[in-house]
Amino acid sequence: MNFGMKNFPQAFFSSHLWEKLRKMWTQLPYFPRAISLVWQASGKWTILWAVLLVAQGFLPGVGIFLTKTLVNRLVVALKTGGDSDEFRPILMVAALLFIVYSLIELFRCISTWLRAFQSEIVQNYIHALIHEKALSLDLSYFETPKYHDQLHRARSDAISRPIALLENLGSLGQTTITLITMAGVLACYSWWLPLILLINSIPAFVVVSYYTYKQHAWRIRNTANERRVLYYDWMLTLGSAAAEIRLFDLGKRFKDNFQKINEKLKQERLLFVKKQSFGELFAGISGIGITGLLLCWMGWNAFRGRATLGDLALFMQVFSQGQQLLRTFLSSASEILRNMLFLENLFDLLDLKPKIHDPQTPIEIFSQDISEIRFAEVNFRYPGSDRFALNNFNISIPGKKITAIVGENGAGKSTFLKLICRFYDPESGEVTIDKENLKSFSLKSLRSQITALFQEPVRYNETVADNIGFAANTEILSRMKIEEAAFAAGANIPISKLPKKYDEMLGKWFGGTELSGGEWQRLALARAFLRQASLIILDEPTSAMDSWAEADWMSKFRDLVSGKTALIITHRFTTALKADFIHVMVGGKVVESGNHNELVELNGLYSKSWKQQTGVFKNF
């Protein structure tokens, strides 16, 4: 019968072993970093944990010694038919034994609570580190599968690893103290007994270590598959996709894809468990055989009068517990190795560095009196793409005016917006505000002077007031300011129809009210207007509005942005014609510029599109 162990010895004791040892060596730097994480999160509790560890390490040895003493005194008392005076020391030893094992149980109870408490603290601390790192990284990271693989492994595997590593280290230390005590007891009977104890546990350690590496390599290879399983699970259960999945009858397809990939992962995981279990079975049977032979040897010594019954009881306890403890020791060592392997995922994520950062000596941010925003010979490609989103791009945006950018999908309009916000830096060329390169400003001060409505604004599952108020530069915000921003965006009308008005919880995640696409967009517009910024950027601000709402909003817009620089990216010419300047983009370049009348008279792309659009309505 093939239990998956046929090639195990050859596989382990081959050149791959040296590669595994090299890999183990490379993981060692993560060990002090992991312990440092635990210390930073829960320093004083770690001290208490260490004290309990030492106590729990010594007490089992004390208990075994007292057991031997108790048995020997009982034997003597029974042989002599001793009186009450002879039993009094026995009761003292029994009482001490009771106290020792009670302390063992007490310390075990305290340690269990302490581990749970530390685990919560450390996991919260690591969550905060991951969140802080995610917030510091550029948008380019979020557009690569490698980053999402790293994030998935850090979340699913690495968050609990530092505290697990500390537990393993504690188990290793506690077991070491106990093992040293028991090895000393065994050595009193024969010097080679501790060596037999050690050799007896090596096969199990070899098996566990081998499959630890195999499992880690498997997790690295299958991270994308695990994320795809989560993706199909989300698509089948989240409300945002429910309507389309039902309309196009995609449920069975996604469910089958989920089952197919999940079944593959399940079978491979079970195969690992099967192979490791049978390996440990063979190692365990060999250990039982050796233990049986040693017990026979000790029994023979007792029969020949070379050992007392107390010695026999002590030997049985020491060797049995010692064997178990040594396996625990080797298992803890293997788990330390496993945790360090997975901690690599966490520290790889935490070691990522943003490519966009503040200059060493940032200059003061521009004021509301912007004279010009200029793109000069800018070239830009998204990470992993060979296609230029902006190609030798040149444009001048005048201050205190409304500028519209129009063009077909993929022309580079939204990319232009992202570079102004400095979510990315151009490959070549420069972006300037009043002749100062954007790289000269600190990111925080630059973005504090920009407010934006993005093409796909976030729908926060919070109250109406929070949905608008999140854009404020300060947490102290009056309801009047929020209401003014809602009125400016035309959001006050749908808000007035809600039962709790500005205190209404929105979104379905927590049982709130769902809004229409246009109503969500008005809230996002209100959010953009709330921030008192020098530059207002609106990406498709009226795309989800009906024609009446658009006309109402456009009638207010010029007053709302008076004295500020406004930039509108739009497909709707009815929105663009209100701008002071219009730029037409094609293939990452500006091909036409002027106001509405000038572009219509130019008889170019803008004029053609305008005439086609208005012609449709004339002939309707």
Given its phi and psi angles, is residue 603 left (phi above 0), alpha (psi -120 to 50 degrees) or beta? left
Q: Out of 153-162, 320-329, 459-468, give the one with best mean pLDDT.
A: 459-468
pLDDT for 23 beyond 60: no
Extended strands (E) in 386-437: 390-398, 402-407, 428-433, 436-437
Q: What is the pLDDT of residues 172-198, one digit of tens each?
A: 666 666 666 666 666 666 667 667 666
Domain-embedded: residue 12: no
Which value, to the nearest 10 degrees, does the dihedral of the CA atoms of residues 311, 317, 323, 324 take? Answer: -170
Q: Provide the pLDDT for residue 8.
A: 44
pLDDT for 22 beyond 60: no
Instruction: Assess whether 164 and 261 both reside in one domain.
Output: yes
Q: Provide the pLDDT for residue 379.
A: 92
Q: What is the pLDDT of residues 564-576, one digit of tens each?
A: 888 988 877 777 8
On whether the CB atoms of residues 527 and 495 are closer than 8 A, the answer is no
For residues 386 and 152, which has the higher predicted lDDT (pLDDT)? 386
How many beta carbons lie within 10 A of that of residue 88, not counting itself? 10
Domain-embedded: residue 20: no
Extended strands (E) in 315-371: none
CATH number for the domain including 200?
A: 1.20.1560.10
Domain-embedded: residue 18: no
Instruction: Assess whether 156 and 264 both reside in one domain.
Output: yes
pLDDT for 9 beyond 60: no
What is the rounded average pLDDT of the residues 241-251? 69
Q: Provide the pLDDT for residue 334.
A: 65
On whether the CB atoms of residues 196 and 76 are closer than 8 A, the answer is no
Q: Provide the pLDDT for residue 431.
A: 92
Q: Which of 297, 325, 350 is the last residue of a domain?
A: 350
Q: Provide the pLDDT for residue 618.
A: 45
> Three-state SS for 442?
coil
Residue 6: pLDDT band (50, 70, 90) is very low
Q: Give the list of residues 6+ apart from residue 232 with CB closer than 8 angstroms, or none.
A: 254, 255, 257, 258, 261
Q: Is 535 exposed, middle or buried (0-12, 13-18, 19+ CB in 10 A)?
A: buried
Count of structural domains within the chain? 3
- Determine the Cα angle at 409 with ends 404 and 410, to 5°: 100
On whether the CB atoms of residues 225 and 261 are closer than 8 A, the answer is yes
Q: Provide the pLDDT for residue 99.
A: 87
Q: What is the pLDDT of residues 62-121, one digit of tens each?
A: 777 777 777 777 777 766 666 666 677 778 888 888 888 888 888 888 877 887 787 778
Q: Which of 303, 321, 350 is the last residue of a domain?
A: 350
Instruction: Assess whether 495 and 595 both reside in one domain.
Output: no
Which value, to the nearest 10 degrees, does the dihedral of the CA atoms of residues 498, 503, 504, 505 take? Answer: 170
Q: Give the list of residues 6+ apart from residue 233 with CB closer than 8 angstroms, or none.
A: 258
Which value, to the nearest 10 degrees, does the dihedral of the CA atoms of residues 425, 427, 433, 436 take? Answer: 100
Instruction: Assess whether 408 and 464 both reside in one domain.
Output: no
Residue 375: pLDDT band (50, 70, 90) is very high
Amino acid 203 reads P
For residues 526 and 553, which has the higher predicted lDDT (pLDDT)? 526
Work out the percent of the chain whose per-residue pLDDT is above 90.
4
What is the rounded average pLDDT of the residues 540-557? 70
Residue 374: pLDDT band (50, 70, 90) is very high
Beta-sheet pairing, 436-437 with 565-569: unpaired
Q: Out of 32-46, 136-150, 540-554, 584-598, give the one with best mean pLDDT.
A: 584-598
What is the rounded average pLDDT of the residues 439-467? 86
Give the burial string for 501-523 (b: 16+ CB within 10 Å, else e).
ebebbbbeeeebeebeebbbbbb
Q: Provide the pLDDT for residue 466.
A: 87
Instruction: Assess whether 389 and 498 both reside in one domain.
Output: no
CATH number for the domain including 506?
A: 3.40.50.300
Q: Give the list of residues 6+ apart from residue 241 with CB closer than 8 angstroms, or none.
A: 234, 235
Q: Work out whether the CA dihedral 296, 301, 305, 308 comes out positive or negative.
A: negative
What is the rounded average pLDDT of the residues 291-320? 67
Mean pLDDT of the chain: 77
pLDDT for 476 beyond 70: no
Q: What is the pLDDT of residues 266-297, one digit of tens each?
A: 888 888 777 777 766 776 666 666 666 766 77
Residue among 49, 32, 37 nearest 128 (CA) = 37
Backbone angles phi, psi at 536, to 5 degrees: -110, 120
Q: Out of 444-453, 492-501, 607-616, give the one with best mean pLDDT.
A: 492-501
For residues 21 and 424, which has the higher predicted lDDT (pLDDT)? 424
Domain-embedded: residue 14: no
Instruction: Assess whether 332 and 424 both reside in one domain.
Output: no
Domain-embedded: residue 13: no
String of DSSP letters for 196-249: HHHHHHHHHHHHHHHHHHHHHHHHHHTHHHHHHHHHHHHHHH-GGGHHHHHHTT
> Three-state SS for 110?
helix
Instruction: Assess whether 84 and 185 both reside in one domain.
Output: yes
* CA-to-CA separations, 505 to 486, 515, 517, 562, in angstroms, rounded: 16, 11, 16, 33
Q: What span, in angstroms and rounded, lies between the C-alpha atoms of 534 and 444?
A: 14
Give the structural domain span for 466: 459-532
Name the DSSP class of 155. I
Q: Provide the pLDDT for residue 2.
A: 41
Q: How far is CA 580 from the centre of its chain?
A: 46
pLDDT for 11 beyond 50: no
Q: What is the pLDDT of residues 332-369, one digit of tens each?
A: 666 666 666 667 777 888 888 888 888 888 887 655 57
Q: What span, in angstroms and rounded, lies between the C-alpha atoms of 463 and 495?
A: 11
What is the rounded average pLDDT of the residues 200-209? 66
Instruction: Assess whether 528 and 593 both reside in one domain.
Output: no
Enter the pTM of the model. 0.67
Q: Out of 224-238, 413-427, 566-580, give the one with best mean pLDDT.
A: 413-427
Instruction: Assess whether 196 and 334 both reside in one domain.
Output: yes
> Three-state SS for 582?
strand
Domain-embedded: residue 138: yes
Domain-embedded: residue 1: no
Helices and strands in the chain: count of H runs, count of E runs: 21, 10
